[in-house]
Chain A
């Protein structure tokens, strides 16, 4: 069955430092891949998505993610983190034949001043 793994439950970085959040998926074909962010009291907001083409995708708020088929990964990166980036980040995938998004367990990002 399709699954998404986010190995890091919490990550703490200093403001201005770079960030990488890990995501691995399991699926035979190339799935559709998404990163969502959830701030307290807010819904899930799409940061970026990948479905074909260039394996490096740019998103909102200065985020990018790289699809690596060989590693079954879709890691989220940001070169310089801002305090407002503190939130929970969810990686998700979707099969072509299904409507449902399958989510990872999320990574909570804390930003040190």
Chain B
């Protein structure tokens, strides 16, 4: 069964450094998402992406965050200057369409630790 993959599984970085989290969505999917889960808190939506554009973003997704689909298979989340509070598990997801009932398929996550 096709699945969403994410690399790396764990990332440790120093505050102020840039990190790029990578995702390979399911191959025929057109909609891509990033979510994060700070330890002990809810899974929170960050951004959705379709047709090479951001289609929706949350208030968390400020100027330090950016997303890109650099080629036909990868989808990346860049955090420009990491802060301590960016430490979280980051999940990538993809779906075939953007309709409400469409299933979003999640990857296993990247655990980011900012020191």
* A residues adjacent to B (C-beta < 8 A): 32, 34, 36, 41-46, 49, 51-52, 90, 92, 94-96, 98-106
Contact = CB atoms under 8 A, between A and B. Distances in A.
A44 B106 contact: yes
B100 interface: yes
Contact of B4 (A43, A96, A100, A103): A43
A8 to B, nearest CB: 15
A44 B100 contact: no
Interface of B: 3-4, 31, 33, 35, 41-45, 48, 55-56, 58, 91, 93, 98, 100-101, 103-109
A52 B101 CA distance: 9
Interface centre among B35, B55, B101 (most CB of A within 10 A): B101
Given A32-B100, A49-B101, A49-B103, A99 B109 contact: no
B43 A44 contact: yes
Contact of B48 (A41, A51, A99, A103): A99
